[in-house]
Amino acid sequence: MKSTNNPNLKRVIVDFKKLTPEILAMVVEKYPDGYDDIDIISFKNSKNELVEAIEIVTEDTKYLIKVSAKLEKVMEQYDEDDYENYDANDPDAIQNLFD
């Protein structure tokens, strides 16, 4: 996970339902002890709804992962071995293990 100031980064908002093992691993790596209020970014979406998210930046993408109780639970229980039988970009992996 490389931080960059590239203004041309692709921006992706990720809801829990679309969270993949790869993105979850980056979240846990950046926030191994969980995230605090200072880490949360608030913004209004296209429907003018307030969204709270944490940020993960890679070389080419800025991910805004929506904050939720499910995200916190998954982060607390994270074990990369749980996902070894899933594709790193498969959002069903997390849904299957934690829903």
Task: Annotate 24-35 with DSSP letters as a single string.
Answer: HHHHHHH-TT--
What does the angle CA 96 – CA 31 – CA 48 come to, to the nearest 5 degrees? 75
Q: What is the pLDDT of residue 5?
A: 63
Neighbours of 10 (CB within 10 A): 10
User: What's the pTM value of the predicted model, to 2 decimals?
Assistant: 0.80
Task: Look up residue 60 and give its DSSP letter.
Answer: S
Q: Report which of 30, 41, 32 is spatially closest to residue 76, judged by C-alpha positions.
A: 32
Task: Identify the H or E element spanning 66.
Answer: strand 61-66
**pLDDT tens track for 38-78:** 999 999 988 999 999 999 999 999 999 999 888 888 888 88
